[in-house]
Amino acid sequence: MSDDHLEILLSREKISERVGELATAISNDYTGKTPLLLCVLKGAVFFLADLIRELRISVYVDFISASSYQGDRSKGTVDILPLFTSDIRDKDVLIVEDIIDTGLTCAALTDFLTMHEPASLKLCALLNKPSKRRTKAVQLDYVSFTIPDRFVVGYGLDYDGKYRGLPDICTLVP
Ligand code: IMP
């Protein structure tokens, strides 16, 4: 039995409604283009799966892995594993992230992907937690929800690998 205390912060209905709105905005902005949605493993997988099914444009999908967290703390360094097989050069790349916290992961991903010379590079995040930002170099083009400085799990987000499968986004007090 776990002693973790969970409380719903964003319900599955609220998430679904907002993901639909985001998909409409992305479809409008990329009309006539076929962007490459680069999903950051592992947390953004659920978000990506729901988002692409709401889009009205065709997209390519590929994956990249980035990790900076141990438990509920940022290590301060980012490990990137480029799992994608797509050619990034000259593509309209949209990074799909679960949550932007310190911003270090995004900054590292942006630097890394810029070296591959995409036609454009934008960032879409399910959650934005701006209170702990440690870099100014984050431009969030699409965001579903801005949340307070709480550790959250569910809908792909984990605590030490647990709770990704919760359908709602919950605050966690270990
Ligand atoms: P950043 O580099 O500090 O912006 O952290 C981004 C990464 O940290 C995310 O992709 C998550 O994997 C993890 N992270 C940050 N905040 C949370 C949280 O509240 N719950 C779960 N993971 C988080």
The predicted model gives 54-65 an average pLDDT of: 97
Give 69 Cα–ligand 1 centroid separation in angstroms: 6
Return the SS3 of 88.
coil
Asked whether 72 and 159 are in contact (CB, 8 A), the reply is yes
pTM exceeds 0.75, yes or no: yes
Give 67 Cα–ligand 1 centroid separation in angstroms: 8
Atom of ligand 1 nearest to the CA of 138: 4
- End-to-end distance of the chain based on CA atoms, in angstroms? 13
Burial 16-51 (b: 16+ CB within 10 A, else e): eeebeebbeebeeebeeeebbbbbbbbbbbbbbebb
Asked whether 64 and 35 are in contact (CB, 8 A), the reply is no
Nearest CA to ligand 1 atom 3: 102
Nearest CA to ligand 1 atom 15: 101
Rounded CA separation 95/71 (Å): 24
In the set 92, 101, 111, 141, the catalytic residue is 101
- 23-52 pLDDT tens trace: 999 999 999 999 999 999 999 999 999 999
Task: Determine whether 90 is an active site residue.
Answer: no
- 60-73 pLDDT tens trace: 999 999 987 666 77
| pLDDT score, position 71 | 66
Task: Classify 132 in phi/psi space as left (phi over 0), alpha (psi -120 to 50) or beta.
Answer: alpha
Burial of 156 (0-12, 13-18, 19+ CB in 10 A): buried
